Amino acid sequence: MTSKQEFIEKLRNSCLRPTKQRINICEVLFNRDKTFHFTINDLFNLIKDKTGEKISLATVYNTVHAFHKKGYLKEIPINSNQTYFDTNVTDHHHFFDVKEEKLIDLKNEDVGPIEIQKSIPGKKIKSVEVLVKLED
């Protein structure tokens, strides 16, 4: 449980002005026990439900991308009509329940280390992600 005051400090330390909207979004996103996977639309609706106040869609986009740029959110590569984000920014893998359209974290020990044996001259590895699609 992070206090409003702590979010304000974190935002300031990140050169992001602690506006009412950003603080609300912080609380919705980061005041939780488990990792949270969401689309912009999920978040937009959740904010209305949880805080009772509406934040404009443009602001939700702006804020999510600001947080993403600062490394506080991760983007998950799946083919969907909407982009998925993740509050767990560590390197980790996912199940994707295709029917429910839901992401589930995989612990690294559930997958084991992945050694990439091939390399491309002049390029280095930025990330290695496993996506396990689930069906019924």
**CA–CA distances in Å: residue 98 to residues 12, 19, 36, 83, 116:** 39, 36, 17, 14, 27
Does 51 engage in binding with DNA (CB under 7 A)? no
Kindly state the smallest distance separating residue 121's Cβ from a second copy, in Å.
11
Does residue 34 touch a second copy according to CB under 8 A?
A: no
Pairing relation of β-strands 102-106 and 93-97?
antiparallel
Q: Give CA angle at 6 (3, 10), nearest 5°.
A: 145
> Least distance in Å: CB of 25 to DNA?
8
Site for a second copy, residues 51 to 110, rule: CB under 8 A:
75-79, 83, 95, 97-98, 104, 106-107, 109-110
The verdict on 27 binding Mn ion (CB under 5 A) reads: no
Task: Pick the binder of DNA from 3, 9, 57, 100 (CB under 7 A).
Answer: 57
Query: Radius of gyration over alpha carbons of the chain, in Å?
Result: 17
Using CB under 5 A as the binding rule, whether residue 73 contacts Mn ion is answered as no
- 43: Cα separation from own chain's centroid: 11
- Residues 74, 78, 84, 86, CA torsion sign: negative
The residue (of 20 and 133) whose beta carbon lies closer to DNA is 20
Which residues contact Zn ion by CB under 5 A?
A: 65, 68
